[in-house]
C-alpha cells in the first residue's frame, strides 16, 4: 500500500479518526487530497512515527496545537510589520 486514507491510518495507528484528522488539520501529518479523500503516504506516516517515537499520543497533539498557535501569533506580528 502506498497511501492510507485517514480512517485507514487511524486503524493502522490504533487511534481514533478524530486524532488523525486533528493531526492533519494541525499540520503534524501532511496529507494529499484525491477527489473526495485525503490520503497520507506510507513515507509520511513513517516520518510521523519516527519523529513522535517515545511520546504519548496526547502529548503529540498538544505540541502540534501549541506550534499552530505560535504560527498564528507569528503571522499576526509579521502582518503588522509589513
In the prediction, which pLDDT does 70 show?
87
In the prediction, which pLDDT does 74 show?
80
Sign of the CA dihedral with 9 first, then 15, 21, and 23 last: negative
Question: 7: pLDDT confidence band, cut at 50, 70 and 90?
Answer: very high
Read off the pLDDT of residues 9-63 as tens digits, 9 standing for 90 and up: 999 999 999 999 999 999 999 999 988 999 999 999 999 999 999 999 889 999 9
Topology of 3-81 in CATH?
Answer: Multidrug-efflux Transporter Regulator; Chain: A; Domain 2 (1.10.1660)
39: its cell numbers: 490520503
What is the phi-psi region of residue 29: left when phi exceeds 0, alpha when psi lies from -120 to 50, beta otherwise?
beta
Residue 76 has pLDDT above 90, yes or no: no
Whole-number Å distance between alpha carbons of 39 and 32: 5
In the prediction, which pLDDT does 81 show?
58
Each domain of the chain, given as residue ranges in start order, spans 3-81
Amino acid at each position: 500500500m502506498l497511501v492510507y486514507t485517514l480512517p485507514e491510518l487511524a486503524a493502522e495507528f490504533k487511534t481514533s479518526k478524530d486524532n488523525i484528522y486533528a493531526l492533519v488539520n494541525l499540520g503534524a501529518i501532511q496529507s494529499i487530497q484525491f477527489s473526495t479523500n485525503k490520503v497520507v503516504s506510507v513515507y509520511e506516516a513513517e516520518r510521523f512515527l519516527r519523529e513522535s517515537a517515545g511520546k504519548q499520543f496526547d502529548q503529540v497533539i498538544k505540541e502540534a496545537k501549541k506550534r499552530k498557535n505560535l504560527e498564528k501569533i507569528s503571522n499576526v506580528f509579521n502582518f503588522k510589520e509589513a
